[in-house]
């Protein structure tokens, strides 16, 4: 628990109660509702992974999504993959009427994924260049090579009233080519930042800061995600301008095992409100 002690220095919050075990503070949501802020979208894939490992419906991903929103998150993210090893396609259909914040569906835009997204019509579709057997997203789009393919997909989604974001790295040529696809936003792939942050935070953040400024100049909205955590999120948010949304799943859910889901969401929101 010691590694979380420094979060008490982040800001003053209105304390609602303290749990007897662990003495972890629960915070009210009122602090977060009065000004524009970077949105927290919680990726609930890992809850589905846990459910699928045992069969049955425990944990219930529908209830999880409702609770995550009740606990203050501003969005729900899912990433259905062809093997349905975590979120299933039916889950996405069942979740859609329960999302009253923002619904973000990530994935590689093959025909099955595209049909699902066009049926659900989420707030946002995030295009990710995953191979079918990849364990987790590990690269952004080569927006130069795949520009025509992306243009067609993006136009189809936007014609259905869906905001589109595409997963990219921080290279200027990739961001410039992304703007030419017609996408609304990019999502900066932050694993390199998370990897370098412990040893050299200033060096780690620099390409992301520059990428966000450049993207904004080109008229693109900026999202971010992958390996963002309580350890590195506040620094990222303070130093990357124009950040509209972060999508966080694995680290947040790991933290929730120790801290509880509601408290964990509040800590992530707290890190974004610096």
Residue 14 in domain: no
Q: Across the chain, what does the average pLDDT equal?
A: 88
What is the rounded average pLDDT of the residues 100-104? 98
Residue 9 in domain: no
From residue 165, give the alpha-carbon distance in Å to each of 54, 84, 242.
Answer: 33, 22, 15
What is the rounded average pLDDT of the residues 207-227? 98
What is the rounded average pLDDT of the residues 173-198? 98
Which residue in 130, 142, 224 sits closest to 177, CA to CA? 142
Catalytic site includes residue 100: no
Q: Report the alpha-carbon distance of residue 171 to residue 168 in Å, rounded.
A: 8
What is the rounded average pLDDT of the residues 77-83? 94
Tally Cβ neighbours within 10 Å of residue 130.
20
- Which entry of 74, 226, 245, 262 is annotated as an active-site residue? 226
Residue 3 in domain: no
41: left (phi over 0), alpha (psi -120 to 50) or beta: beta
- Which entry of 79, 86, 102, 187 is annotated as an active-site residue? 79
Residue 21 in domain: no
Residue 171 in domain: yes
Residue 4 in domain: no
Q: Each residue of 6-33: pLDDT tens digit?
A: 344 333 333 233 232 232 333 333 333 3
pLDDT at 132: 57
What is the rounded average pLDDT of the residues 229-244? 98
Residue 6 in domain: no
Catalytic site includes residue 106: yes
Task: Reduce the DSSP state of residue 93 to 3 states and report it.
Answer: helix
Q: Report the alpha-carbon distance of residue 52 to residue 18 in Å, rounded.
A: 33
| Enclosing domain of residue 217 | 38-272
- Give the helix ranges, DSSP H, for 147-190: 147-159, 172-180
Q: Is the dihedral of CA 40, 44, 50, 51 positive or negative?
A: positive
Domain count, the chain: 1
- Which carries the bigger pLDDT value, residue 87 or residue 14? 87
Q: Each residue of 241-273: pLDDT tens digit?
A: 999 999 999 999 999 999 999 999 999 999 999
pLDDT at 130: 74
Q: Is residue 228 very low, low, confident or very high in pLDDT (cuts 50, 70, 90)?
A: very high
Q: What is the CATH number of the domain that holds 214?
A: 3.20.20.70
pLDDT at 4: 44
What is the rounded average pLDDT of the residues 90-95? 98
126 forms beta bridges with: 106, 165
- Which entry of 74, 106, 187, 262 is annotated as an active-site residue? 106
pLDDT at 140: 85
What is the rounded average pLDDT of the residues 160-170? 97
Highest average pLDDT, of 52-56, 74-78, 270-274, comes from 74-78
Residue 111 in domain: yes
């Amino acid at each position: 628990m010691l590694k979380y002690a420094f979060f008490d220095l982040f800001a003053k919050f209105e304390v609602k109660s303290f749990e007897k075990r662990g003495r972890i503070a629960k915070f009210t949501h009122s602090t977060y509702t009065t000004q524009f802020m970077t949105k927290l979208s919680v990726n609930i894939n890992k809850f589905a992974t846990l459910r699928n490992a045992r069969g049955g419906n425990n944990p219930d991903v529908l209830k999880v999504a409702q609770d995550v929103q009740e606990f203050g998150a501003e969005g729900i993210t899912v990433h259905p993959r062809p093997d349905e090893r975590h979120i299933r396609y039916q889950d996405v259909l069942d979740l859609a009427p329960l999302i009253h914040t923002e619904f973000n569906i990530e994935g590689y835009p093959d025909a099955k994924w595209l049909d699902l997204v066009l049926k659900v019509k989420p707030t946002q579709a995030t295009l990710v260049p995953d191979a079918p057997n990849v364990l987790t997203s590990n690269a952004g789009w080569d927006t130069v090579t795949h520009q025509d393919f992306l243009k067609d997909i993006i136009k189809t989604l936007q014609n259905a009233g869906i905001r589109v974001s595409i997963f990219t790295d921080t290279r200027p040529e990739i961001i410039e080519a992304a703007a030419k696809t017609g996408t609304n936003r990019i999502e900066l792939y932050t694993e390199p930042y998370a990897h370098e942050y412990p040893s050299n935070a200033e060096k780690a953040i620099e390409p992301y800061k520059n990428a966000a400024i450049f993207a904004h100049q080109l008229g693109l909205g900026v999202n971010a995600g992958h390996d963002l955590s309580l350890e590195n999120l506040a620094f990222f948010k303070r130093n990357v301008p124009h950040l509209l949304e972060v999508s966080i799943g694995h680290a947040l859910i790991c933290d929730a095992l120790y801290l509880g889901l509601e408290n964990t969401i509040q800590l992530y929101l707290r890190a974004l409100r610096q």
